[in-house]
Amino acid sequence: MIRSRFQLFVLRTAFFSIVLGALSVAVHADATVPTLLADHMVVQRGLPVHVWGMAAPHEAVSVTFRGETKSCSADDDGRWSVYLSPGEAGGPFQMNIKATNTIALNDILVGDVWVASGQSNMEFAMNSLANAQTEIAAAQNPKIRLFMVKHKPADYPLENVESKGWAACTPETVADSSAVAYFFARHLQQKLGVPIGLVESFWGGTAAESWTSLRALSADAGLMPVFAARSKTLAEESTTVLRQQREEREYQQAVEQAKAEGKPLPWRQWHPDFAAWAPAALYNGMIAPLTPFAIRGVIWYQGEANSGQDRAPLYARLFQTMIRDWRDAWGEGDFPFLFVQIANWNTAPDALWPEVRDAQRQALALKNTGMAVTIDIGDAVDLHPKNKQDVGLRLALAARAIAFGEKIEWSGPLVRQVTHEEHALRVWFDHAGGLMAKGSEATGFEVAGADGKYTPADAKIEGESVIVSSAAVTTPVSVRYGWAANPNCNLFNKEGLPASPFQAPE
């Protein structure tokens, strides 16, 4: 049916009214700030205070903090950004942001901000500890502030994260917080006496490539297998979905049968989240939006998801790429990046946990990195060991030495070099003051000859070195230690910190 000229006029008028209305809203839109900038936040001491957000294009915005005011205008797209002068630890302070509207942010502390990231052992919450009630009840510390990022994969770098916002540490707010991150923060706050902000951005069962930007992944031809693996996953996804639906039906039937027979409920098959495993997906959604916010450093606990036959050989290269990638994104130089070496556990026979541990050890070649060895405090039958107190403590020791320059021992023995002796190898260690074996003699060492076949070896401690030999290998050329998913190894320094598993020469 042909519309009359009057009807067309009405439709055009309505259309332009809607468009003009939308433009009017955009022109007069209130200034906003990202979720990270909120009441109760901690801003990083000693670095410029970055405040940014959105407003109407070209709108004037001013920010006042600690008696200083800086002004700017929003750009053509509505983005605005100011930097205020660095300051020392303290607070609470108020920040006022003025545009056509006013935003008042209250109870702001200045201290040290740490990003806590990784997979399930970093996500492991306080309420899952064996002594959860005791630890949570004691977690009353208003100088520790918590900010938890919600799970969100994305196809491109986002400008904001989803979160409930910042909260002072109380028994109520800490219950769902990372146990490792809390114990790390608690130790630092007690020792340094400054406020600590924890930005918690993690997702259980995720791979390192998901936390690395596409820019960094695609810049290295050696990381192309990451994209080949994703291509294979996409090609098989429809079949995978059908198989998982069948497994779910079978699981529900098994649950009903177990209930009817009064038996324990069956174990549920775990599957990785399809969207979360995409290369760069978690960097885009959960890390990129954090990078304008100044930090002191990062603590990281991940690696289990990269222990498969297809991923472990690439992990050394990938992990170091990710560390450099995050440092580039924040633009603060080589900030401390402290990580946990995966713990002992009786994993599947085809999983390459020793190789992943050694890949993590190799990342210590990067400046201002530190590794918390946990080969002695895992759980042979539980992927998620309950002792997170020592994990947090070991990370905090590394922070005190690397980030703050304290002259303390922060690491267990780390292999430095291997020299040849008659029918034996001598392994030299760093961080080896008071080198000792917990037990009658050192265990966990193996040697191999030119054929590459390893055999258990005798080990004798001499000062800061260990002489390793085996009657079955007359001319050893390589040595390894703790080279199993759940090894029997017992080398420590006098501070009680365990030696890292290794294979040398690499």
Q: Measure the CA–CA gap between 108 and 297, rounded to whole angstroms.
A: 19
| Number of Cβ atoms within 10 Å of the Cβ of 180 | 29
440 class by beta-carbon count within 10 Å (0-12 exposed, 13-18 middle, 19+ buried)? exposed
Q: Measure the CA–CA gap between 284 and 237, rounded to whole angstroms.
A: 22
Residues 6+ apart with CB under 8 A from 223: 209, 217, 314, 317, 318, 321
Q: Measure the CA–CA gap between 75 and 72, rounded to whole angstroms.
A: 9
| Residue at token pair 């997906």 | 281
What is the residue extent of each domain of the chain?
414-504
Query: According to the model, what pLDDT value does residue 28 have?
Result: 52
Query: According to the model, what pLDDT value does residue 284 have?
Result: 98
CB 48 within 8 A of CB 65: no
CB 270 within 8 A of CB 205: yes
Amino acid making up residue 240: T
pLDDT string in tens for the chain (506-residue length): 344 444 444 445 444 444 444 444 444 579 999 999 999 999 999 999 999 999 999 999 999 999 999 999 999 999 999 999 999 999 999 999 999 999 999 999 999 999 999 999 999 999 999 999 999 999 999 999 999 999 999 999 999 999 999 999 999 999 999 999 999 999 999 999 999 999 999 999 999 999 999 999 999 999 999 999 999 999 999 999 999 999 999 999 999 999 999 999 998 888 999 999 999 999 999 999 999 999 999 999 999 999 999 999 999 999 999 999 999 999 999 999 999 999 999 998 889 999 999 999 999 999 999 999 999 999 999 999 999 999 999 999 999 999 999 999 999 999 999 999 999 999 999 999 999 999 889 999 999 999 999 999 999 999 999 999 999 999 999 999 999 999 999 999 999 999 999 999 98
Query: According to the model, what pLDDT value does residue 267 have?
Result: 86
